[in-house]
Amino acid sequence: MKTTPPLIEDLARRFSTKLLLKQELNLSEHRFQYLIAHQLIERVPGISSTLNFHQCNRCLNKNQILFGKIPQPNSKPIIYCKKCIQMGRVSTKEPLYRWTGPMPMRHNVANPLKWRGILTPLQEKASLKMVEAVNNQSNLLIYAVCGAGKTEMLYAGIQEAIKQDKRVCIATPRADVVRELAPRLRRDFPTIHSAALYGGSTERDLNNHLVIATTHQLLRYENSFDIMVVDEVDAFPYHRDKTLPKAVTRASKPNSTQIYLTATPRRSHKVQIATKQMPTVSIPSRYHGHPIPTPTFQAILRLNDSLEKDKIPTKITHWINEKQTNNRRFLLFAPTIQLAESLAEKLDMPYVHAESPDREYLIKQFRARNFESLITTTILERGVTFPSIDVAVIQADHHVFDEAALIQIAGRAGRSANDPTGDVTFFYEYKTNAMIQARNYTIIKNKEAKRCTV
Ligand SMILES: [Zn+2]
């Protein structure tokens, strides 16, 4: 077997199966020129352009409004992509680079899984289906309610893939979910190398066995993963942004296994499930066997007016007082940052939203039980698990709370086997279809779960 010099092996680990900007290569000019001259890396146009049509080759954006122009004296303007500019500018003058040298080696790990928990029969069924999908290079949709224990269902499949020296990616739309999943997976697979990638993370993927990443981070990959697990496949921004599914496909190898996880499938997946186009395994019950809490509706007259005038209706303050008296921890969901801010001020509670600079810190503090309540926008609607909490939604009739969001929010309660019940209350002025559908979903899933255990 041909041996690669250690330096080339090291560079191969850093660059292979990625599309990177020159500054992301982080090489001295001398070394960079050496790699180009020896055809170890090649240039890929950052933007493909014909007369008036541009496409970004990193984020696959084709929306012409999202391209900018930098005028140049005596030559054509530079075209750049605005859509993915946060990841560093890609333009007609700033190409991407692809590794064309030898592929890096990975060490086989015989039995990486150290988790010794026991799966429920339904979890076991999903777990076996995933192992089958890994072995057959086929796809699978795992349709499991919030609290079904989805992560543990993936373990046998991940173990099987790693044994076969395959590379696994768990992609999720939310950075908070990456931060929650990575430590669990590292605890349960302690002998493999992994990387947790999200905007602002300092970790690097050196051709690791396992990558846990936001779907956005996959814009830097091509033909990289044998197993692609897309968690929360129905979540924003993945389900709204047409380029992200394409990026996930590009980041996967041609004969890869795709595993999709969802508790609240959107219409396209529902159609695929109903018409059996997508092999699906359905898990209607939680891992601890207790029902999902059914939301309670609390109508409040002139709720919207009161909140606009910075007044918190007594029904809401009663709910909060009752929780505080009974030492119950809780999350209060608000539809907008402004309302979250004003509630936080009035109630003297911490709050988080997508732009909070201290969001990671506050979530950690809440998880560590350093305070008892947290106000949040929909950023904490899914993926995160706090063991013993109740939840209330303020203005549950607001348009940001669609059926999926309300189901996910309700799914935060009663997650612990030691405290499996939880209170979910929707405060509203006008009842919406989304609220009714969310409640119906809970009732239907609880009935299905009962039938599975009979
Ligand atoms: Zn782009």
Cα(69) to centroid of ligand 1, in Å? 14
| CA atoms of 194 and 203, how far apart (whole Å) | 9
Q: How confident is the model at residue 227 (pLDDT cuts 50, 70, 90)?
A: very high
- 261 lies in the same domain as 302: no
**What are the residues facing 120 on neighbouring strands?**
none
- Vertex 233: Cα angle to 231 and 239 (nearest 5): 145
> For position 319, what pLDDT does the model report?
97
> For position 2, what pLDDT does the model report?
45
> For position 273, what pLDDT does the model report?
85
- 256 lies in the same domain as 320: no
Question: Looking at the domain assignment, is residue 319 inside a domain?
Answer: yes
Mean pLDDT for the stretch of residues 88-112: 93
Higher pLDDT among residues 188 and 50, named by residue:
188
Q: How confident is the model at residue 269 (pLDDT cuts 50, 70, 90)?
A: confident
Residues of the chain with pLDDT > 90: what percent? 80
Exposed, middle or buried: residue 78 (CB in 10 Å: 0-12, 13-18, 19+)?
A: middle
**What are the residues facing 255 on neighbouring strands?**
none
Mean pLDDT for the stretch of residues 186-213: 96
Question: Looking at the domain assignment, is residue 114 inside a domain?
Answer: no
Q: DSSP string of 3-71? A: PPPHHHHHHHHHHTTBEE-HHHH---HHHHHHHHHTTSEEEE-SEEEETTEEEETTT----GGGEEEEE
Mean pLDDT for the stretch of residues 188-194: 96
Cα(72) to centroid of ligand 1, in Å? 21
Give every strand in the sheet of 19-20, ordered side by side.
19-20, 96-99, 41-44
- 149 lies in the same domain as 219: yes
Cα(96) to centroid of ligand 1, in Å? 11
> For position 239, what pLDDT does the model report?
72
> CB–CB of 250/222 below 8 Å?
yes
Span of 6-10, 290-294, 325-329 with lowest mean pLDDT? 6-10
- 267 lies in the same domain as 303: no
> For position 241, what pLDDT does the model report?
82
> CB–CB of 66/82 below 8 Å?
yes
- 277 lies in the same domain as 307: no
Question: Looking at the domain assignment, is residue 110 inside a domain?
Answer: no
Residues of the chain with pLDDT > 70: what percent? 98
- 313 lies in the same domain as 442: yes
Cα(59) to centroid of ligand 1, in Å? 4
Cα(88) to centroid of ligand 1, in Å? 9
Cα(55) to centroid of ligand 1, in Å? 8
- Does 3 score more than 50 pLDDT? no
Span of 100-114, 186-200, 319-333 with lowest mean pLDDT? 100-114
Q: How confident is the model at residue 432 (pLDDT cuts 50, 70, 90)?
A: very high
Mean pLDDT for the stretch of residues 56-79: 94
- Does 389 score more than 90 pLDDT? yes
| CA atoms of 112 and 151, how far apart (whole Å) | 16
Cα(233) to centroid of ligand 1, in Å? 22
The closest alpha carbon to 294, from 372, 383, 410, belongs to 410
Q: 283, 318, 338: which is the final residue of a domain?
A: 283
> CB–CB of 19/97 below 8 Å?
yes
Tokens 């918190």 belong to residue: 312
- 213 lies in the same domain as 64: no
Give pTM, 2 decimals: 0.88
Domains in the chain, number: 3
- 149 lies in the same domain as 267: yes
**pLDDT, averaged across the chain:** 93
Cα(295) to centroid of ligand 1, in Å? 41
Q: How confident is the model at residue 454 (pLDDT cuts 50, 70, 90)?
A: low
Question: Looking at the domain assignment, is residue 233 inside a domain?
Answer: yes
Question: Looking at the domain assignment, is residue 109 inside a domain?
Answer: no
> For position 1, what pLDDT does the model report?
39
- Does 139 score more than 70 pLDDT? yes
Cα(211) to centroid of ligand 1, in Å? 22
Mean pLDDT for the stretch of residues 175-185: 93
Mean pLDDT for the stretch of residues 103-128: 92
Residue range of the domain that includes 127: 121-283
Handedness of CA 378, 379, 385, 386 (dihedral sign): negative
Name the DSSP letter for residue 221.
Answer: B
> For position 268, what pLDDT does the model report?
82
| CATH code for the domain of 217 | 3.40.50.300
Question: Looking at the domain assignment, is residue 104 inside a domain?
Answer: no
> For position 4, what pLDDT does the model report?
55
- 355 lies in the same domain as 221: no
Cα(175) to centroid of ligand 1, in Å? 20
> For position 453, what pLDDT does the model report?
66
